[in-house]
Amino acid sequence: MDKQRLLGLLDGFSGKKLLVLGDMVADDYWFGEPTGRISREAPIPILRERSRQTRPGGATNPGYNARTLGAEVHLAGVIGDDASGRDLAGMLSEAGVDVKGLVVDPKRPTYTKIRVVTRPSPARSSTMPASSFRTSTRCCSPTTRTGLSARRSWTRPSRLLSPTRS
């Protein structure tokens, strides 16, 4: 794709109205540096936390990006009544994204991916990955949860499994 065509596509977002419906995810980044010690619980470095940052993830990410390109963006989805949900909604609102379509559910957490990021230690090459840990929180609705049998295991936490009959 040539540069002019790409610039034309990017300019095409300006003035468009978009509805983004999907999983509202908060991507949390925890930045730290190695202390030089290893945890007793697992062979991982102990980090000294320096800062934290929340960024739009899941469906909020393309919504945020489209807004930065000039589109009028409306989000529709569910967040929890928690710090991650409030941070995410506040950040999106400040960016000019319409968050009136976000439903706050006090009975569930906001989907959150946490990445613990370190600077490479001097002993490691600068080409080594800086992310040393990633986790996520995800829940299902009470309706879906009751449909799951007790012996069913969550083998793919990155997506919600559909209930099956035994």
What are the domain boundaries of the chain?
14-139
**Contact indicator for 24, 93 with CB cutoff of 8 Å:** no
**Contact indicator for 24, 78 with CB cutoff of 8 Å:** yes
Q: Record the pTM.
A: 0.69
Q: What angle do CA 80, 85, 86 make, to 5 degrees?
A: 125
**Chunked in runs of 10, what are the mean pLDDT values of the chain (166 residues)?**
87 92 93 88 86 93 96 96 94 97 95 85 52 58 36 34 38
CATH class, range 14-139: alpha beta
pLDDT at 84: 92
> Which phi-psi region, left, alpha or beta, contains residue 47 (left: φ > 0; alpha: ψ -120 to 50)?
beta
pLDDT at 124: 54
